[in-house]
Amino acid sequence: MPVLNSLDALIEALKRLPGVGQKSAQRMAYHLLQHDRLAMPRLADALTAAGENIKHCERCHTFSEAPICGVCADVERDARLLCVVETPADQAALERTASYRGYYFVLLGRLSPLDGIGTRQIGAAELLARAAEESVEEVILATSFTAEGEATAHVLAEALKARGIKSTRLARGVPVGSELEYVDLGTIAHALTDRR
Ligand SMILES: [Zn+2]
């Protein structure tokens, strides 16, 4: 494979971002080079620092610079509630609604057997152990309303039930097929209040 020149390498790197195709990547690269050279080292530094410093919370698996994230470290939260989400972005979306005061467990994915993502990959065993902690009274399954998200919620609900742990699902109202991260805050807050 031929070595890319710097411009092509930059465009290729930008194309790795979600939603960025060849055209957008070119536009970004030309913009930076022509109008905002100062942003280039800043971007590079921010990317490097984030990549090096941000790890996963040891307790809930969301992104965190400390071994335990701010939510898990907050003793004022309601320890009776454990909310299961697919991604750190979903967790952040729920936090923004300010309508949930319990703790979280981030699966880092959803069941997708065709892609080789099974219960092990989403940390189901860790979730079950966490849910079995004495303080937990209800596990709220806030996986997305896509086919895979629904299947994930179903499998987890059955596993929790088998262990005598109560689980609820976010209410409908969140549009079918949608990722939580992109749903408006009011809708999420309602789905949370009306969970069943
Ligand atoms: Zn945490």
What are the pLDDT digits (tens) for 163-181?
999 999 987 666 666 777 7
146 band by pLDDT with thresholds 50, 70 and 90: confident
Instruction: Extract the tokens encoding 149.
Output: 């998200």
Of residues 3 and 134, the one with the higher pLDDT is 134
CA of 45 to the centre of ligand 1 (A): 26
d(CA 123, CA 129): 10
Query: Regarding beta strands 78-85 and 102-106, do their DSSP bridges make them parallel or antiparallel, or are they unpaired?
Result: parallel
Beta-strand (E) ranges in the chain?
A: 55-56, 63-64, 78-85, 102-106, 138-141, 167-169
d(CA 177, CA 148): 9
What is the mean predicted confidence (pLDDT) over 98-115? Answer: 88
Q: Which residues are registered as beta bridge partners of 172?
A: 174
CA angle 172-173-177, nearest 5°? 80
CA of 64 to the centre of ligand 1 (A): 7
C-beta atoms surrounding 132 within 10 Å: 12
Q: Which of 150, 196, 152 lies closest to 170 in space, CA to CA? A: 196
The answer, yes or no, to whether residue 99 has pLDDT greater than 70, is yes
Question: Around ion ligand 1, which residues have CB less than 5 A away?
Answer: 57, 59-60, 69, 72
CA of 61 to the centre of ligand 1 (A): 6
CA of 22 to the centre of ligand 1 (A): 37
